[in-house]
Amino acid sequence: MKRFRTLLLILVALAAIVLVAVIFGRNHHNVVPVKLGTVSYRRFIVKLPETGFIEREHVRAIPSLVGGNLEALYVKPGQMVAAGQLLAVVRNTQLESSAAGALADYDSASANIKTARINEQNAKVTYQAAVATARTSLAEARRLYEADRSLYAHKAISQNQLQTDRAKYTQARVAYQQALEQLKLGAVTGYGQNSVQYARAAAKKAAILNGQAQQQLAFTQITAPSSGIILTVLAQPSNPLRSIQVGDPINAGATLFTIARGVSYIVRAKVDEQDISQVHVGQQAIISGEDFAGKKFHGHVTAIAPTAQKSDNPSSTSRQILTTVHLDSTAPFFKDGMAANVDILTTDLAHALVVPDSAIVKKGKKRSVFVVTKGIAKKQPITTGKSNEQLTIVTSGLAAGAQVVLKPPATLLPGAHVTPKPSPSPSPAAAS
C-alpha cells in the first residue's frame, strides 16, 4: 500500500513537470521576434531629385557689332578684366574711310556757319540801306506833291503836273512799304540761302552723320562692358580648339567673348511638368555630383522659367521647366558645364512628429501601426501627412516615444507577444 502511494506521487509529479513544460513551450512559441522603431519629433524633409549643369552667374556675350578682320587680340579665357578694358580690335577700311569723310564734311559745314554769318550781316545792311533810300525818296516825293498842291491852288502849275507828282509820291510810298517788307522777310528767312540758319541746319545734319560714322568706327574697338572673367573667346571655324587669330575674318554679330561678372555659380535644372507645382522661388536645395569628391553644397531656387520646353528624352512626351538654383558658396573645382545633382527641398519642417514608413500597415485608405507596450503588440489606427519614402508625418493616433513594429509580418496579430530583434545596424527610425 505504501509502495503504491509512492508510485502515485511520482506519476503526479511527472505529469506536473510535463504540463509546465507544455505551457512554457507554448508561451515561448507565441513570442514573435520583431524590429522596433521609435516615433519622434525631428526635421522632416522631402527632396525632389533633379539633374542640371553648373554655370557662372551673370554671364553675357560680347559681340562684334561690325564686320572686318581681327587686327588685335588682348585677352584669353580665364583672364580677369576691368570694365572698359580693350579686348580686341577689328579692322574695317570702309568704316575708316566713311568716318574720315563724315568728319571732313562736319568741319566744312561748321566753317560755313561763320561765312554765312558774314553774308547775312552784309545782306541785312543792304536791305536796311534800301529802306533808308526808299524813306528818303518818299519824303522828297511827299514834299514835291505838297508844294505842287499849293502852286496848283494858285494856278501856278497845270493839273497834269500835279497829277504827275502825285503819282510819283504814290510810287515812292509803295516802294518804301516794299523795302520795309523785304527787311522783315529777310530777318525771317535769313536773308537768302546762304543764311546762318541754313548753315546751322546743314552743320547739324553733318554732325548727325559724323556721329553715326564715328560710332560705327568706335564699334571696331571691343571693350569689356563690366569687370569680370573672360570665359570664352571665339574659335576659328576650321579649328574649334583654337581661338581666332590676327587677320581672321570677323562677321558682324559674331560673339567674340563671353564674360562672367562676379565669382558666384548657379545650377540650371529642368524640372518635369508634373513636379513643378511643388517648386517655388526661395526653396533650399542641396547640390552634389560624381566629381565633387563627396562634398555637398547648399543653394536656393532663384528663378522658374515662365514657359515649358520639350523633354530632353526623345521618347518622352512630357515637358520640362528650366529652374535656376543659386549656389550659396563656390569651390575651386567648379567649372562651367559640369554636371550636378540637385535635391530641391520641396518640404522642410524643423519639428514634425514622424514614424518610419516601414512601420505603416496600409489597407485601402486606412493606415495603422503595431504599437508595442510591455512586450505586447497592439494595432493602432493613425492619420498621416507627407512622406519622403523613409519617414511619414503623423497627424493623429501616435505620441512621441511610442515603439512601433518595423516591417510587421503578415502573421502578426493584435495582442501577440513580441521581442526585439538584435539590430547590428542603426534602425531605420534613425534615418533622416
pLDDT in tens, 173-197: 888 788 777 667 665 555 555 677 7
Output the CA torsion sign for 169, 173, 176, 178.
negative
What's the pLDDT at 17?
A: 55
Read out DSSP for 17-72?
A: HHHHHHHHHHHHHTEEEEEEEE-EEEEEEEEEEEEEEEEESSEEEEE-SS-EEEEE
Please give the Cα distance from 219 to 67 (Å, whole number). 10
Please say whether the beta carbons of 37 and 323 come within 8 A. no
**Contact between residue 59 and residue 231 where contact means Cβ atoms under 8 Å apart:** yes
**Side-chain half-sphere exposure of 215, counting CA atoms within 13 A:** 7
Sheet containing strand 255-260, strands side by side: 59-63, 255-260, 228-233, 80-81
Confidence at 134, pLDDT banded by 50, 70, 90: confident
* Residue 109 pLDDT: 81
Q: Which overall architecture, per CATH, does domain 59-92+220-260 show?
A: Beta Barrel (2.40)
pTM of the model: 0.60
How far is residue 297's CA from residue 285's CA, in Å, rounded to a whole number? Answer: 8
pLDDT of 193 reads 53
At residue 430, does pLDDT exceed 50? no
Q: What is the pLDDT of residue 23?
A: 45
Q: Which class for 173: exposed (0-12), middle (13-18), buried (19 or more C-beta within 10 A)?
A: middle
pLDDT > 70 fraction of the chain, expressed in percent and rounded: 87
Task: Give residue limits of the domains in the chain.
Answer: 33-41+350-425, 59-92+220-260, 95-216
Mean pLDDT of 249-253: 94
CATH architecture, range 33-41+350-425:
Beta Barrel (2.40)
3-state secondary structure of 389: coil
**Rounded alpha-carbon distances, angstroms, from residue 14 to 7, 11, 18, 21:** 11, 5, 6, 11
Residue 106 has pLDDT above 90, yes or no: no
Give 86's strand partners: 223
Asked which of 50-54, 140-144, 404-408 is least confident by mean pLDDT, the reply is 140-144
Domain formed by 95-216, architecture: Orthogonal Bundle (1.10)
